Structure 1
Amino acid sequence: EEHKTYEEIRKSIDEYLTGREKERITMMENDIAYAEEASGESDMAKYADGSAGEYTRTNVQVEGIDEADIVKTDGKYIYAFYQDAVSSTICIVKAAGKDSSRISQIVLDDVQVQNLYVKDRWLVVLAANENESTEEADCQTNIYLYDVSDAENPVCRSKNSQSGTYSDSRLAGDMLYTISIKQVVNAGKKTDKEEYIPKVNGKLLPEDRLYCPNEGESSQYLVFQSIDLSRSGKVIDSMAVLGAEGTYYMSEKNIYVAAPYTDHGAWQKTKITRYSYDKGTIKYGCEKVINGKILNQFSMDEYEGNLRFAATTYDYSMQSTNGLYILDQSLKTVGSVSRLAPGERIYSARFMGDKVYFVTYRETDPLFLVDVSDPANPVVKDKLKIPGFSDYLHPFGENMLLGIGSIQDKQGNSYVKLSMFDISDPEKVKEIHSKKLEKNSTQNIGNDHKGILVDVQRNRIGFGTQNYDTGISRYEIFSYDTKKGFQNIANLPLEESRSAVSRGLYIGKDFYLCRDSYGICVYDTKKYKKIRSIAY
């Protein structure tokens, strides 16, 4: 049983903080190396075509499970925020084309807003009370729930909190699941429970909601909380587990955490932990240490009760190979295919039912197709080599797969590259069109999948780019034609921010470009002429 008393937890943390100080420093260094390696992040988003219909929704991994973002819309209003040193301001903008206007705002003092959700009449605001004077041990994540049924007069219906810095969240139906990371700096004395036990809504978590799977292994908690929006923000469950922060993948029944794992200096391992959830109740399930590194949330997928993941493994000489692994609900291996693309690493992948596509890269870009219809015997069906690499893959209609990545010329200049793959024949994947953007252009979709707009119904692909020679940023929109390939529809300026962090939204007949902390520009969708500008 992984439950521990407060004192057993304190001793476990104390053992970690004192007896393993050298290993802890090594671990921190390796975590940094791991994060740097992962910064070329891949993406395997949901098996769906992306946002469609009358307005753009956040590009999420699993259809039906929403992810928080810096901008949200319900088709009538756009919700965004900006912040300064002392407060955060959430702006509510009425989306009405040339008549769009900011109709209300919410000011939160002494917090930094991280992300938002919008569901029916509810606006969820996820914020941290961090500032320069906040001790790490005192960091707290706040969850505000606003009733925006009258968007001109938002009303706060609840405020919940949990110890630690905000890490991630998901919204499944009306149930919000939040994860924060509480770092214990000093285990203190037996009586100093505030030092080493996390809180939810100001109260210490009880012993039966604390888990310590491995004594002396971590001084960090993952703190979980579930909140029911349909019951005005009522907390349904909360728990905390001593273990490292990682990458999160949430299926319809489980939450998987893949965290870098250090074992006597071998930093190429990952610990996978499974938690089940049902109607807000969260249960610790099981864990497994695997060889290799899982790049990000999209390197994991659950299908017919099995967890599938793509990983890059390293031997002791740091030679890399790649593989696909399938585990059951107990995290026991069902099947695998390994030793693919020696010397390369995974840059992107896409799980689509019983087919898996993933890209590795060193000099050319092999796109692998693996058939996993028999989970015990995955089979590599095809391997296509093309110049450059894709660090984001996205289904585009029935039998096509969109790739966004980079390519370099012989002089070392890099370009953003768009690729369209024909995947109608599982035995023979073909790149049917590609487009190279301007010299020394870059994009960040691999690290920020929510920054891409893919609307198959409208035949539009949009994302921010930056030219690192000039520093100029723009939002580029493309259409795709099976004969002509990619056509550039619009290049919209993002110059104020000198950053490609932006969100593009279609609402009805208009396009809304939300730019960092600067505001929203509204464009018509015929010639992409600016018809309105709204400052935050």
Structure 2
Amino acid sequence: MKRGTKVATTGGSLVALALLAGSMAVSQSPPAGPGTTEAPMVPVGLVSFDSCADALAELRAAARASVGPYGFAGDAVLFGDRVAAAGGAESMARTFAGAPGDAAGRDTGAGHSTTNNHEAGADEPDLVKTDGRRIVTVTGGVLRVVDPVSRRVTGRLDLAGDREELRWQEHRLLLLGDRALVLSEDPPRPADALRSIRPPGATRLLLVDLAGRPLVLGTYRIEGSTVDARLTGETVRVAVRASARLEFPLASEGNDQVRTERNRKVIARAGVEAWLPEYEWTAGPERHTGRVGCDRLSRPDRMTGSSTLTVLSFDLTADRLGDGDPVSVAADADTVYGTATSLYLAGQRPVPVTGSKPRWRPSSAEQITDIYQFDTAAPGRPRFLAAGSVPGWLINQYALSEWAGHLRVATTTGDTWSEGTASESAVRVLRRDDGSLVPVGMVGGLGRGERIYSVRYLGPVAYVVTFRQTDPLYALDLADPTAPAVTGELKITGYSAYLHPLPDQRLLGVGQEADSQGRTEGVQVSLFDVRDPGRPARLDQWHLPGGWTQAEHDPHAFLYRPDTGLVALPVDAGVRLLRVSGDAISEIGEVTHPVGNDSSRRQWGPSVRRSLVIGDVLWTVSEAGLRATDPASARSLAWIAAT
């Protein structure tokens, strides 16, 4: 495995050439390899529409150019080896590898644990929340408040009502004082599904008062699916992606060219409302409706007309949600990365249609990720700051990191579907300059023939895991943004899909063990020593043959307590309790949940999905209920059924 190649770029003259009427101009070249120099991709900003008529004309033109015989290309494209991975990891709030780490949402061992957030000051929605004095969960469409002292349910609120389909939806929570915001998807109502080929789904938000008996203060519903949300200060920002509401015919007669022309006629007849999401909100008996206005819509220079991103802002201290003060971009994204002062939306650019032929896979040159940065330092509507583009695709939000005025981005270009397929990964450093995220340096050539499985940035240091048959753990020095470099590499079997910083310059990896051919063999937890950036080493390993953990794909499921060394890891249907002490990993025991409401039944129940600590008690959460456990012995203390 060859080390990465570092390339420094300034991009100053390219920026000057690209500043054309504030639009987004992009220069592209193939990904850099050893001994090559990469021409930077330089987007310059977003453009507002002068009127609704102009917006409609430009959206129609972009959609006509993007549509094929079966709709928009992005609806059916496989992006490399992209896997959907939600959830996250926190940065480090202490000195690590000889340099200050990011001030992140790390569990410091205080009286209660918190959500495993990526960054400090940017709380992420999750299945359970606690402030130390209460535990709030939503399962089966019912919100429950649990008192951890009496170990009783003290509040219950049915959020689904007579809509049984909502009980199957996953609900996530944000908590601030006596207010909870519940986020879920609102599936199409049966009547809508019968009337439409593509019935519209929606994002559903509920503001709940927890001061006494739980009470819904207000609701909000907007067309489109939730990408993610962040709570900074008292303001929640919710990113929503809405597809253009265009009903393309399903008629099978005719060739691809005929079908494409038929779809273009649908676009030519569509009004601007097909692209502008509609919303409604309530406060008590009040009900209000609205639609995102043309004055709130911007576009990049390159757009497909197939989707719209909307960022909503809500004050959690208010007694209503209001209209969300929406701001929209005629673009696409599937990744949200947030800090205490910035919100980034990122997504792979849809593959262009070639003639009338559908495109099932993008070439390496067509794999481009667009990134939009918004200022969220002040309450209320976010302000657009800059846009940028990088080759390749992101594994998840942890491929992004803002540090010391720069944005670091780790991407994979190409795919690993077949033997010999050209793929490699790189880390690029971008700087904001007059509305552009301008590349200033990169290190490429990581994991040739492989893809990224996990990334962890810790201040000026980064760790990147790539995998296909074996697992190189790369250590990178990013202290000089113009000359990032690989400093060390550890090659072992298996992979780590999540990396978590520990005290004393150690790193914990959660993933799968594998044989020499890359066949996975069960969940593994690896303890790495990264004190010497040139020689990372594995100190110990815990392996459960055949096991699987949700923390691979959603690090919100991972819990670590630095005061005791406790690691709570959901494995299969239960939670394995481990302890990291010194250079060793040991197992404490296992926590499982019963089936139904009878704690004496010895059958396996629904999978345990989350763990949290309040005082010296471990709480685990599943659809069946909550269990209180002694984390030192794995002995059960109480069971609270989700009745």
Is 1:181 the equivalent of 2:241? yes
- Deviation at 1:458? 2.4
- Deviation at 1:500? 4.2
Query: 2:540 & 2:187 partners in 1: Cα distance?
Result: 47
Moved over 6 A (4+): 187-191
Is 1:436 the equivalent of 2:543? yes
> Retained in 2: the 8 A contact 1:146–1:158?
yes
In the other structure, the counterpart of 1:28 is: 75
> Retained in 1: the 8 A contact 2:244–2:305?
no
Q: Which amino acid letter does the alignment assign opposite residue 356 of structure 1?
A: A
Query: 1:219 & 1:403 partners in 2: Cα distance?
Result: 38
Q: 2:570 aligns with which of 460, 464, 471?
A: 464
In the other structure, the counterpart of 1:94 is: 147
SS in 1 for 2:171: strand
Query: 2:578 & 2:218 partners in 1: Cα distance?
Result: 42
TM-score scaled by length of structure 1: 0.89
In the other structure, the counterpart of 1:372 is: 478
In the other structure, the counterpart of 1:143 is: 205
Is 1:104 the equivalent of 2:155? yes
Q: How many residues align?
A: 517
In the other structure, the counterpart of 1:469 is: none
Q: Which amino acid letter does the alignment assign opposite residue 210 of structure 2?
A: V
SS in 1 for 2:83: helix
The share of aligned pairs that are identical, in percent, is 24
Query: 1:216 & 1:173 partners in 2: Cα distance?
Result: 33
Is 1:78 the equivalent of 2:177? no
Query: 2:500 & 2:408 partners in 1: Cα distance?
Result: 18
Q: Map residues 290-305 of structure 1 onto 2, 5 A cutoff.
A: 290-305=390-405
Q: 2:57 aligns with which of 8, 11, 20?
A: 11
In the other structure, the counterpart of 2:126 is: 69
Query: 1:245 & 1:342 partners in 2: Cα distance?
Result: 26
SS in 1 for 2:371: strand
Q: Going by fraction, where is strand more abundant, 1 or 2?
A: 1
In the other structure, the counterpart of 1:127 is: 184
> Retained in 1: the 8 A contact 2:107–2:561?
yes
Deviating more after overlay: 192-201 vs 122-131:
192-201
> Retained in 1: the 8 A contact 2:309–2:332?
yes
RMSD: 2.7
- Deviation at 1:178? 0.6
In the other structure, the counterpart of 1:489 is: 588
In the other structure, the counterpart of 1:197 is: 276
In the other structure, the counterpart of 1:219 is: 306
Query: 1:41 & 1:223 partners in 2: Cα distance?
Result: 19
Q: Map residues 194-343 of structure 1 onto 2, 5 A cutoff.
A: 194-201=273-280, 202-214=289-301, 217-233=304-320, 237-264=325-352, 265-266=362-363, 267-279=366-378, 280-314=380-414, 318-329=421-432, 330-343=436-449
- Deviation at 1:352? 0.3
Query: 1:166 & 1:364 partners in 2: Cα distance?
Result: 35
Are the structure 2 counterparts of residues 43 and 123 from structure 1 closer, same or farther at C-alpha, using a change threshold of 3 Å?
closer
- Deviation at 1:132? 5.4
Q: Which amino acid letter does the alignment assign opposite residue 144 of structure 1?
A: L
- Deviation at 1:46? 2.0
Are the structure 2 counterparts of residues 492 and 375 from structure 1 closer, same or farther at C-alpha, using a change threshold of 3 Å?
same
- Deviation at 1:131? 3.8
Are the structure 2 counterparts of residues 42 and 371 from structure 1 closer, same or farther at C-alpha, using a change threshold of 3 Å?
farther
Q: Map residues 364-443 of structure 1 onto 2, 5 A cutoff.
A: 364-409=470-515, 412=519, 414-437=521-544, 439-443=545-549
- Deviation at 1:189? 8.2
TM-score scaled by length of structure 2: 0.75
Q: Deviations over 1:251-271 (max 9, x none)?
A: 232222221113444352222
Deviating more after overlay: 357-366 vs 188-197:
188-197
In the other structure, the counterpart of 1:476 is: 576
In the other structure, the counterpart of 2:228 is: 168
5+ long unaligned stretches in structure 1: 467-472
- Deviation at 1:305? 1.2
Deviating more after overlay: 456-465 vs 314-323:
314-323
Are the structure 2 counterparts of residues 76 and 400 from structure 1 closer, same or farther at C-alpha, using a change threshold of 3 Å?
same
Is 1:512 the equivalent of 2:589? no
Q: Which amino acid letter does the alignment assign opposite residue 155 of structure 1?
A: L
- Deviation at 1:191? 9.1
SS in 1 for 2:129: strand
In the other structure, the counterpart of 1:155 is: 215
Are the structure 2 counterparts of residues 95 and 42 from structure 1 closer, same or farther at C-alpha, using a change threshold of 3 Å?
closer
Is 1:447 the equivalent of 2:546? no
> Retained in 1: the 8 A contact 2:303–2:331?
no
Query: 2:415 & 2:231 partners in 1: Cα distance?
Result: 39
Are the structure 2 counterparts of residues 40 and 450 from structure 1 closer, same or farther at C-alpha, using a change threshold of 3 Å?
closer
Deviating more after overlay: 446-455 vs 405-414:
405-414
Bigger relative contact order, structure 1 or 2, given CA contacts below 8 A and separation 6+?
Answer: 2
Query: 1:315 & 1:449 partners in 2: Cα distance?
Result: 24
Is 1:53 the equivalent of 2:156? no
Q: Which amino acid letter does the alignment assign opposite residue 143 of structure 1?
A: L
Are the structure 2 counterparts of residues 295 and 215 from structure 1 closer, same or farther at C-alpha, using a change threshold of 3 Å?
closer
Q: Which amino acid letter does the alignment assign opposite residue 107 of structure 1?
A: D
Query: 2:329 & 2:208 partners in 1: Cα distance?
Result: 29
> Retained in 2: the 8 A contact 1:137–1:182?
no
Q: Which amino acid letter does the alignment assign opposite residue 324 of structure 1?
A: V
> Retained in 1: the 8 A contact 2:139–2:171?
no
> Retained in 2: the 8 A contact 1:10–1:190?
no
- Deviation at 1:501? 5.2
- Deviation at 1:230? 2.7
Query: 1:140 & 1:39 partners in 2: Cα distance?
Result: 20
5+ long unaligned stretches in structure 2: 1-21, 23-46, 94-105, 247-265, 281-288, 353-361, 596-603
Are the structure 2 counterparts of residues 122 and 188 from structure 1 closer, same or farther at C-alpha, using a change threshold of 3 Å?
same
